[in-house]
Amino acid sequence: MPPARALVITTEVLLGVLFLVGVAAILLLPSLAGELAVSYPEYADLRVPLLATATVFTLLGLFAIVVVALLVRRIGIGAMLSRGSVRWVDLLGAALGCAAALVVVGFVVVSNGQAGSPFMALIQVLTCLALISLACVTRVLRSLLQNAIAMRAELDEVV
């Protein structure tokens, strides 16, 4: 039984708002990076690599939002228990893994530029751990989805 239609619509609207915030962030990142380069000229060399890392990280976030929205749509119409859903869950896990790798890249860039602080390093480590944890949870949920698909196929054969 699919969830209430109002819940699905509310979730899709909130994901749409998050998507628009992400697009706005991508549009604002270059000017913010330029202002920071002027404010901290000793770190101006880090502008391009950190801007690229932040942009790709945000694009991965936008991709993850789209995948989650598609999965919510599939749940809403009762089509979640199909092999296509497993592929979308795989893509979500891959996006989370790539985001964790980008956090490591950002850590290396900041460390090589001698620009960070211990607090910033702690935030990066915690972010990386959170993303890896989410990727692992996604893998667990993927296996549950595969089991549910197999059980449904088995039930369809019986009926």
pLDDT at 78 (0 to 100): 87
Q: Where are the alpha helices (DSSP H) in 45-117?
A: 47-76, 83-112
The closest of 106, 91, 101 to 51, measured between CA atoms, is 106
pLDDT at 30 (0 to 100): 96
Residues of the chain with pLDDT under 50: none
Owning domain of residue 9: 5-158
Rounded CA-CA distance 41/34 in Å is 10
pLDDT at 98 (0 to 100): 97
pLDDT at 114 (0 to 100): 85
pLDDT at 113 (0 to 100): 86
Rounded CA-CA distance 102/87 in Å is 22
pLDDT at 156 (0 to 100): 85
Residue type at 49 in one-letter notation: P
Domain count across the chain? 1
